Chains A and B, each alone.
Chain A
């Protein structure tokens, strides 16, 4: 069993605890961080920027890119 799989399984062993400290999961797994946090930030309801960046189109593009990267 690879290290990454072991860590995945550990996350699922206690999801509530993992939810309280998600950052440690990310760093431990060495996920491809570049760009993803920015895309994730753009998709949040709380995202605030110029009007042209807060619209639906930017959300759609960010979502598509994020899903592409994650899969």
Chain B
């Protein structure tokens, strides 16, 4: 226990971060491994909960991340002041302490993941901390690699082993996909961050950021019951309530990143065409017509703006959105006839 306390003491002081996290995780993991049910000893989960309740460990780690970020920023300023160029390989540069940049960040994110998953979500990252992490890693990152690292952390697929107890025996274990965030945190991340133009510049979207948007777009709308998803196929059950549609339109039209734009356009078209059977023909037709009307209105608006590279790209993207829609409606790879309003051809739009 002495070394766990020593690690906590370091983390509270913001020093020796990397080794302290490694040793602390090693001790915490060991609690479950060395414990037998009758001993009355602490489990890993219980220990994490106590650490959070008494010391606010998640906030301590967030403080360490913020502090480390400031140290890197200051180190970079010092380099500029001395007329030196920034390090070529930032990942392996030591900005603070004795550990390289990338492993330090990885370990700081890893400890957050460890606390949440091993406490079975009794401890969580909290919505307000997501804003802080987003600002540090995505909005004002020191390096592109920091942003990539954080987006990989968000996009990472996590699984846990599940064994059901039925009729006095455990069933065969299977893996279940889990999210690092609680449902309110997921919603905050999507509605307050990913759909917020002050947090995300849609024109400068990276592929990782676009993937993150798509993941949470599907997750949130699925959890609200607005879409159903089987593997990659989507069926829309409540089109009018869907969250994040304006942002999806914006990405499809404004993004300079080809892959982000193409994948968003595909998803956007999918959502307008794959309406479930509860939609009557008239409602289905109305949604499809609204899609074409919105595209045409965007074309009209763009044509009124002074001609520039940006407006030309925007017009082209709108045309691509329309073309994709028509192609998917009855082009080379048309949607199933069940999804089309009876007897409606694209010439009717």
Knowing A1-B39, A8-B42, A16-B55 are in contact, say whether A43-B19 is a contact too (CB < 8 A).
yes
Inter-chain contacts of A56 with B (CB < 8 A): 98-100
Cα–Cα distance between A27 and B185 once the two chains are bound (Å):
42
Are A9 and B26 neighbours in the complex by a CB distance under 8 Å?
no
| 25 A-B pairs in the complex with CB atoms less than 8 angstroms apart | A5-B41, A8-B1, A9-B41, A9-B42, A11-B1, A12-B50, A12-B54, A15-B8, A15-B54, A16-B55, A19-B5, A19-B8, A19-B9, A31-B1, A31-B3, A40-B3, A43-B23, A46-B15, A47-B98, A63-B19, A63-B23, A66-B3, A66-B23, A70-B23, A71-B33
Q: Is B245 on the interface with A (CB-CB < 8 A)? A: no
Closest to A64 in B: B22
Count how many chain B residues have C-beta atoms less than 8 Å from C-beta atoms of the other chain.
32
- The smallest beta-carbon distance between A35 and chain B, in angstroms, is 12
Name B residues whose Cβ lies closer than 8 Å to a Cβ of A. Answer: 1-3, 5-6, 8-10, 12, 15-16, 19, 22-23, 26-27, 29-30, 33, 39-42, 47, 50-51, 54-55, 97-100
- The smallest beta-carbon distance between A30 and chain B, in angstroms, is 10
Cα–Cα distance between A16 and B33 once the two chains are bound (Å):
26
Are B97 and A70 neighbours in the complex by a CB distance under 8 Å?
no
Count how many chain A residues have C-beta atoms less than 8 Å from C-beta atoms of the other chain.
35
Closest to B2 in A: A26
Knowing A8-B41, A8-B42, A56-B100 are in contact, say whether A67-B22 is a contact too (CB < 8 A).
yes
Q: Is A52 on the interface with B (CB-CB < 8 A)? A: no
Inter-chain contacts of B26 with A (CB < 8 A): 66-67, 70-71
Inter-chain contacts of B42 with A (CB < 8 A): 5, 8-9, 12
Are A59 and B2 neighbours in the complex by a CB distance under 8 Å?
no
Are B15 and A29 neighbours in the complex by a CB distance under 8 Å?
no
Are B51 and A15 neighbours in the complex by a CB distance under 8 Å?
yes
Q: Is the interface of B mostly helix, strand, loop or mixed?
A: helix
Cα–Cα distance between A56 and B19 once the two chains are bound (Å):
11
Are B39 and A2 neighbours in the complex by a CB distance under 8 Å?
yes
Inter-chain contacts of B22 with A (CB < 8 A): 63, 67
- The smallest beta-carbon distance between A5 and chain B, in angstroms, is 4
Are A31 and B2 neighbours in the complex by a CB distance under 8 Å?
yes
Cα–Cα distance between A8 and B6 once the two chains are bound (Å):
15
Inter-chain contacts of B47 with A (CB < 8 A): 12
**Would you give the 0/1 interface string for A48-68, flagging 1 where the beta carbon is closer than 8 Å to chain B?**
000000101001001100110
Cα–Cα distance between A70 and B6 once the two chains are bound (Å):
13
Are B5 and A45 neighbours in the complex by a CB distance under 8 Å?
no
Inter-chain contacts of A7 with B (CB < 8 A): 1
- The smallest beta-carbon distance between B67 and chain A, in angstroms, is 13
Cα–Cα distance between A36 and B100 once the two chains are bound (Å):
24
Which residues A16-37 have CB closer than 8 A to chain B? 16, 18-19, 22-23, 25-26, 29, 31, 36
